Amino acid sequence: MTQVFDLAANSTRELNQTLQRANGGSAIEQWRVVNPNGAHNLAVGLDAPSRVEIEGHVGYYCAGMNKYAHIVVHGNAGPGLAENMMSGLVRVTGSASQYAGATAHGGLLVIEGDASSRCGISMKGVDIVVQGAVGHMSAFMAQSGRLVVCGDAGEALGDSLYEARLYVRGNVAGLGADCVEKSMKDKHKREVEQLLAEAGISGVDGAEFRRFGSARELYNFKVDNAHAY
């Protein structure tokens, strides 16, 4: 049964305490959170497979460090959405501000609108699917995981990238240091299509995406690369 939590009547502290009470428990809790009003730090530190629907816009760090939970924001999200997420699912039906999915280690982050700059910065294993566009310096120093962008990507995509795999369908304004386009093989097309399916996005053909990754030229200090450091 879905329980309702009203942020007009209760504080962020109470919300997180309430949601975190499920941490370690077995029963799947279902919550509808109303009147978020752009508040920061909502539904952070969850550690159980709860289902949380937030009805409205959220501020900074919503769903931060999430483990196991499925959190859906029916609205837009402020900076640091799902930062350092470990597992589970975070979805926003609107757009997300800077550093969505920053340093996240696992799970799936779906942004149905656009993501601002530095989407997937230093990502460490998370999968991020953006239905719209991403801003500049997305996947900066991204270490692992996959970023799928159905729209365009801004300047300096994948700057100083490590092993993360980037897929973009639209225009790429520019690539960052050590980020190169790589060939799109069948297995990559299948990878994109599987991620789109997991994200619940239909009507987009995996073959329309281009793949980007690390040239691995900056992995070790080389005098000849001094211009790039």
Contacts to another protein by CB under 8 A: 12-13, 16-17, 20, 40-41, 44-45, 47, 59-61, 64-65, 67, 79-80, 83-84, 86, 99, 102-103, 105, 118, 121-122, 124-125, 140-141, 143-144, 162-163, 219-221, 223, 226
Q: Least Å distance between CB 127 and another protein? A: 14
In terms of CB distance, is 121 or 166 closer to another protein? Answer: 121
If you ran DSSP here, which 8-state letter would residue 67 be given? B
The torsion angles phi and psi of 179, rounded to 5 degrees, stand at -100, 130
In terms of CB distance, is 56 or 106 closer to another protein? Answer: 106
Which segments of 1-64 are extended strands (E)? 2-6, 30-34, 51-55
- Residues 88/67, Cβ–Cβ less than 8 Å: yes
Phi-psi region of 64 (alpha: psi -120 to 50; beta: other; left: phi over 0): beta
Q: Least Å distance between CB 5 and another protein? A: 15
- Rounded Cα gap, residues 175 and 12, in angstroms: 39
- Nearest-5° Cα angle at 59, 57 to 60: 145
Q: Least Å distance between CB 105 and another protein? A: 7
Q: Least Å distance between CB 106 and another protein? A: 10
In terms of CB distance, is 111 or 196 closer to another protein? Answer: 111
- Rounded Cα gap, residues 160 and 162, in angstroms: 7
Q: Least Å distance between CB 4 and another protein? A: 21
In terms of CB distance, is 106 or 170 closer to another protein? Answer: 106
In terms of CB distance, is 164 or 196 closer to another protein? Answer: 164
